[in-house]
Amino acid sequence: MKSDVLARRLFEETLGALDLYSIYLGDQLGYYRAMTGGDWFSAESLARRTGTSVRYTEEWLSQQAVRELVEVQDERAQPRRYRLPAEHVPVLADPDSMMAVIAGATDLARIARRLPDLVTAYRTGQAPPSMPWEPEGRSEQNRAQYLNLLGKQWLPAIPEIDERLMRAGARVADIGCGTGWSSIAMAEAYPLVSVEGIDLDAQAIAEAGRHAHEHGLADRVRFKAGDAASLSSEGYDVVTIIQALHDMSNPVEVLHAVRKSLAGDGVVLVVDSHVEEEFSVPGTPQEQLNYGISLMVCLPEAMGPGSAATGTVMRPGTLRRYAANAGFTEVRMLPIESQKWNFYRLTV
């Protein structure tokens, strides 16, 4: 790539990064939520609605307008008036939309705060301090995907799993459940199952319990904080590990415990980042994103003595090796179309 082309590309990507920071501000300050009704706002009226500074709000609205994130009614008017187009609401103001970028903007802000720690970690080879939840809380990147797709499209497309989840009293273990949205999605789609979500993060588990209660599922979805590598033999009909295995420092130990926990005809589903079989240049857009996230989040979080240090880009061959070392006989990639995920069935 020529130097002028590279410079231009990085300039344009700087604009995109600044857009995401401005979206973070718009979300945290309530600007987008205030504008979802389609009304026109001056800087003064939006600042009054959101309890923010007029001058800061004026600058934010101007940036949003020149980047065409909001519309301006009359460029020459004083004061100018702005609105959020209805077409932009799913992207900028609805966390349950699969087009939303709110969580990504939040994660970018959280990553920026930890960059000095990453510099140190890259020199020492150790894990940096974990990213604190506050002040934003966990961004819940995959919530919309789970609630809209997991129980409604993905699992029904896997006959051997769908059949088991239709059984009365079926038991599911959801390993690395985070704040519980994958567990909740399965319970909503399959009313006869009980789901146990397991995660190392006690704060995430507390959040998950609240979410299950809010969705009226506390009787069938329960959560516990703990290491899945110490999973006892529970006779689970289905075990899922969704967007979590590559984050684990001990994936073989976890898979070994999962194998031991299965009922006689139990099945294991691993859903992880969509990656290609082999490294290639240039990578697909999704693979480029995966490596970027791995640099900043997934690999650093997993580093430490004895860690597998997988990173976000867990190639299918890497999963096959982990599974074989854990006693599984086959890893089959499932034919579910997705630009973001790979789906694997593990066979004992």
pLDDT at 211: 97
Within a 13 Å sphere around the CA of 160, how many CA atoms are in the beta-carbon half?
13
**Residues 176/240, Cβ–Cβ less than 8 Å:** no
- Local confidence pLDDT in tens for the 348 residues of the chain: 999 999 999 999 999 999 999 999 999 999 999 999 999 999 999 999 999 999 999 999 999 999 999 999 999 999 999 999 999 999 999 988 999 999 999 999 999 999 999 999 999 999 999 888 778 777 688 999 999 999 999 999 999 999 999 999 999 999 999 999 999 999 999 999 999 999 999 999 999 999 999 999 999 999 999 998 888 777 999 999 999 999 999 999 999 999 999 998 999 999 999 999 999 999 999 999 999 999 999 999 999 999 999 999 999 999 999 999 999 999 999 999 999 999 999 999
The closest of 333, 204, 324 to 255, measured between CA atoms, is: 324
In this structure, what DSSP letter does residue 295 have?
Answer: I
Write out pLDDT tens, residues 215-235.
999 999 999 999 988 887 779
Q: Which domains, ranges and CATH numbers included, belong to the chain?
A: 3-96 (1.10.10.10), 143-347 (3.40.50.150)
**Residues 41/49, Cβ–Cβ less than 8 Å:** yes
Q: What's the CA gap between 300 and 307, in Å, rounded?
A: 11
pLDDT at 63: 99
Q: What's the CA gap between 156 and 97, in Å, rounded?
A: 21
Q: What's the CA gap between 50 and 192, in Å, rounded?
A: 44
Q: What's the CA gap between 9 and 17, in Å, rounded?
A: 12
Q: What's the CA gap between 72 and 62, in Å, rounded?
A: 9
**Residues 101/20, Cβ–Cβ less than 8 Å:** yes
DSSP sequence for 13-82: HHHHHHHHHHHHHHHHTTHHHHTTT---B-HHHHHHHHT--HHHHHHHHHHHHHTTSSEES-TT-SS--E
In this prediction the pTM is 0.92
**Residues 309/319, Cβ–Cβ less than 8 Å:** no
Q: What's the CA gap between 160 and 268, in Å, rounded?
A: 10
Cα–chain center distance at 267? 24
User: What's the angle, vertex CA 322, arms to CA 319 and CA 324, rounded to 5?
Assistant: 105
